[in-house]
Amino acid sequence: MQVTVMGAGSFGTSLAKLLAENGHPVTLWSHSADTLDAIAKTGENSIYLPGIALPKMNLTQDAQNALQNAELVVTAVPAQATRSVWEKHREHLPKNALVVSASKGIEIGTNALVSDILLEVLGAEYRNKLFFLSGPSFAKEIALRIPTAITIAGWDAARIPEIQKSFHNEYFRVYGTADVNGVELGGALKNVMAIATGISDGLGLGNNSRAAIITRGLAEIARMGKRMGADPMTFMGLAGIGDLVLTCTGDLSRNRSVGIRLGKGEKLKEIVDSMRMVAEGVPTTRSAYELAQRLGIELPIMEGVYSILYEDKPAKTAIIELMSRRLKFEGE
């Protein structure tokens, strides 16, 4: 199968490596000349995935060239860039290509999931050719061939086995589901919770606090998922609790790192300006907050993270407010 990966960040590069090693001819597209130059010269993505040798693949900044013969397209650009990238390049996408999104987030302004964006931009005729990858998977560990299990969601469940076979190998196992909204929400909102656990860790609050945030964070994700028609069981699986635990506890988590630095007193602008890689939880916090307000859903942890990121509330104050809320039964 002829594969094109749109986006040469750490995750796009790791998926391109995996697919190439699975025997697929792979073209890797990036808007960034320095990233592609680094790969061409050193045989590794020294900017986003240093120290890991990459197999042979075609490298290009020309999206038309990248997409013209693609049978499988992996879109791995940041969630906030998904609309602009595909509005610019949708005319080059072959009509029969299958599209797998590896982006996680909720769009600022529209509060749209990535699935909503792609369906809107590419058109209803692509609905049964769109699939969404999520689950506990750090790019570096995939590239190092460390055993990983993820989930692929799609509206056309009959075509999921075809996608599974493309990605599956001895270290990468792929499960399928038809719950697109659940997989999308789990992948987006766990980044907000990772910032929350990072803040807790940065404040030195310990394991009890981290466990409480993860557990109640899952309840908040499920609450929003229920309102948006997701299957509650999705949040008990890889795209839910699996990805949540990984991102909230793993040292490779960019979102957790942002939270740790906030907890230690750094300002958001300083943190974001110092990072080349995107921490999707930062813009998604704003979008999730606005979406919850619109839907009338109470999400105290997300609201607390929003107040720290966008209202400059001291992290300690936000924690005290969380702990001082009205006592409840756990199922409320």
Instruction: For 92-106, write each residue's pLDDT tens digit.
Output: 999 999 999 999 999
Joined tokens for residue 96: 């029969």
Q: What is the CA radius of gyration of the chain?
A: 19
Same domain, 144 and 207: no
Read off the pTM: 0.96
Same domain, 103 and 198: no
Same domain, 130 and 214: no
pLDDT of residue 145: 98
Same domain, 167 and 262: no
Same domain, 38 and 55: yes
Tally of CB atoms within 10 A around 43:
13
Is 331 within a domain?
no
Domain count, the chain: 2
Same domain, 233 and 158: no
Same domain, 169 and 276: no
Tell how strand 172-177 and strand 26-29 pair up: unpaired
CA distance 30 to 64: 12
Share in percent of the chain as helix, strand, coil (round to 5): 55, 15, 30
Is 330 within a domain?
no
Range of the domain at 54: 3-180
Q: Is 77 helix (H, G, I), strand (E, B) or coil?
A: coil
For the domain that residue 147 is a member of, what is the CATH number?
3.40.50.720
Same domain, 15 and 107: yes
Is 332 within a domain?
no
Same domain, 82 and 169: yes
- Which of 141, 164, 180 is at the close of a domain? 180
115 touches 127 (CB < 8 A)? no
Tally of CB atoms within 10 A around 212:
16
190 in active site: yes
Q: Which of 41, 129, 190, 316 is catalytic?
A: 190
pLDDT of residue 161: 97
Same domain, 167 and 230: no
Same domain, 193 and 269: yes
pLDDT of residue 277: 79
Is 243 within a domain?
yes
pLDDT of residue 332: 73
Same domain, 21 and 169: yes
Is 303 within a domain?
yes
Q: What is the pLDDT along the chain (332 residues), one digit of tens a residue?
A: 999 999 999 999 999 999 999 999 999 999 999 999 999 999 999 999 999 999 999 999 999 999 999 999 999 999 999 999 999 999 999 999 999 999 999 999 999 999 999 999 999 999 999 999 999 999 999 999 999 999 999 999 999 999 999 999 999 999 999 999 999 999 999 999 999 999 999 999 999 999 999 999 999 999 999 999 999 999 999 999 999 999 999 999 999 999 999 999 999 999 999 988 778 999 999 999 999 999 999 999 999 999 999 999 999 999 999 988 888 888 77
For the domain that residue 272 is a member of, what is the CATH number?
1.10.1040.10
- Which of 148, 180, 212 is at the close of a domain? 180
Q: What is the pLDDT of residues 162-177, one digit of tens each?
A: 999 999 999 999 999 9
